[in-house]
Amino acid sequence: MPSHAPHAQDQNRDKDAHPHPHAPPHPHPDSHPTPHPRRGLLLVLLCLAQFMLIADVTVVNVALPAIGADLSLSGPGLTWVVTAYTLFFGALLLAGGRLADRFGAVRTFLTGLALFTAASAASGLAADAATLITARSAQGVGAALLSPAALSLVTTLFQGPARHRALGAWAAIGGTGAALGVLLGGILTDGPGWRWIFYLNLPVGALALLGVPLLLGRSLRGTAGAADPGRRTPVNVPAILLPTLAAAALVYGLTERSWLPAIGALAAVALLVATQRRSTNPLMPPSMPGRRSLLGGSAVMLGAAGLLVTGFYLSSLHIQQSLGRSPLVTGLAFLPAAVAATAGAHLGSRLLPRFGWRPVGAAAFTLAAAGAALTSLGGLWSGLLPGFALLALGLGAAFVCATTSALSEVAPAHTGLASGLVGTSHELGAALAIAALASADFTTLAYPALTLALATPFLLPPGHPDPTSPHAMAH
């Protein structure tokens, strides 16, 4: 295949664009020896887009007091500014992975990016709380389309050792995006105002919208969305709607402290299981290889993400409302956590081949619990920040454990689905934990962290990650 028109469709199911009529129908991406000549620049743009999505989970945290004062929001209303985004992002990620498999990674990526960018503009222009929360929900829908498609493009553009390095860069985005989102939120809120935390997405989105299709090349742009007619199975509508309804009901019940929505969430889950068992195109095939490791790793991801994002939420409000510090000081105060999360991810990736998933995962959550407990021993600089940095260090390693174990046994045909489930766990963990712990003290996080430390040996598989696996460092 010519180097200027590599086969960069989603490696899972979207292997349908072939420049020669006699080309093999579904080649594996690793069979293409010639790398894309601009794959380095493409990786930068794809990681930049993913960073924008991850940072938007926490970027509003520092701005919440300013948003509340400007739009007359408080209590549960402020919580929804954060959870509306993570809820739709997480609940629709599985559907986003399947849509990327069906319609093509490039087409799905560009559609999601366009929606996310437009919703960012609407968030910045919001004149009332309802408009802001609606726009944040639309951001989440766009992110759910964008993220799994971007990861599929990364795994398609890179092969062999280069893929490990590319996925290592992708993993670092997940570890630092949340922390740096708080920093950006502080700088912008204390400077031009809270609306600029959303306006900042506009140039980034425009750059990726123009740059990705231009760098991929004309041939790929013309064929990326064309699916094989023999594989055009209908979209599984119940699999898209029911998880979203279940997650929304559960988050609403936790936020409002009501059991009735939680019962509705259980009913939606039961209906989902029943419909998927009868479906000819289930969201997760029952015979899918690596199903247990995928579900266990996703559960660990849900817990780790919930702890980290809730930590940012609670500490951001505490520093500003209880300690009276400015948004800028609040944002700068989280630099140690950003560094610690990155260091934890690198440390975890080095320890995993030697000790395995279970010991490293248990140690990571134990370290996080110790960090949460440490925050009660002093003030901002002597207690909260060192403790939060220690918590972030442990959770950075936990992220690597969760993702590598979840994808360790997944076949290439299910990579889009599996990456969507891992991302779903990340975002829903944030939404559920904030809804449940919005009024808690930071030290309370030590209890779920210890619980996860005890549960990790039962959730993660035995053994070590395979260094030759293309997902060894995916996040």
Residue 59 DSSP code: H
Please determine, for residue 109, whether its predicted confidence score (pLDDT) is greater than 90: yes
Measured in whole angstroms, how far is the alpha carbon of residue 9 from the centre of its chain? 21
DSSP string, 263-307: HHHHHHHHHHHHHHHH-SS-SS-TT-TTHHHHHHHHHHHHHHHHH
Look up residue 332 and give its amino acid.
L
Please determine, for residue 200, whether its predicted confidence score (pLDDT) is greater than 70: yes
Collect all residues with Cβ–Cβ distance below 8 Å to 261 and sequence separation of at least 6.
Answer: 249, 250, 252, 253
Q: What is the mean pLDDT of residues 70-88?
A: 87
Burial 425-451, CB ≥16 within 10 A → b, else e: bbbbbbbbbbbbbbeeebbebbebbbe
Model confidence over 216-252: pLDDT tens digits?
Answer: 876 455 444 444 444 555 667 787 788 888 888 988 8
Question: Across all residues in the chain, what is the average pLDDT?
Answer: 82
pLDDT at 233: 58
pLDDT at 206: 96
Collect all residues with Cβ–Cβ distance below 8 Å to 428 and sequence separation of at least 6.
Answer: 86, 87, 90, 91, 247, 302
- CA gap 82, 63 in Å, rounded: 11
Residue 195 DSSP code: T
Residue 8 DSSP code: -
Please determine, for residue 33, whether its predicted confidence score (pLDDT) is greater than 60: no
- CA gap 223, 14 in Å, rounded: 10
Q: Compute how many other C-beta atoms are within 10 angstroms of the C-beta atom of residue 354.
A: 9
Please determine, for residue 107, whether its predicted confidence score (pLDDT) is greater than 70: yes
- CA gap 113, 153 in Å, rounded: 14
Please determine, for residue 336, whether its predicted confidence score (pLDDT) is greater than 70: yes
Please determine, for residue 30, whether its predicted confidence score (pLDDT) is greater than 90: no
160 torsion bin: left (phi>0), alpha (psi -120 to 50), beta (else): left
- CA gap 360, 358 in Å, rounded: 6
Greater confidence, 9 or 374?
374
Please determine, for residue 89, whether its predicted confidence score (pLDDT) is greater than 60: yes
Model confidence over 299-329: pLDDT tens digits?
Answer: 999 999 999 989 988 888 889 888 889 999 9
| Cβ–Cβ < 8 Å for 13, 231 | yes
In the numeric block, the tokens 């972030």 are attached to: 392
- Least Cα distance to 146 among 32, 21, 261, 53 occurs for 53
Look up residue 35 and give its amino acid.
P
* Percentage of the chain lying above the pLDDT 70 cut: 84
Q: Compute how many other C-beta atoms are within 10 angstroms of the C-beta atom of residue 256.
A: 12
Please determine, for residue 188, whether its predicted confidence score (pLDDT) is greater than 80: yes
pLDDT at 394: 96
Model confidence over 147-177: pLDDT tens digits?
Answer: 888 888 887 888 777 777 787 778 677 666 7
Please determine, for residue 22, whether its predicted confidence score (pLDDT) is greater than 80: no
pLDDT at 289: 65
**Helices and strands (H, E) in the chain, number of each type:** 18, 0
pLDDT at 209: 94
pLDDT at 234: 66
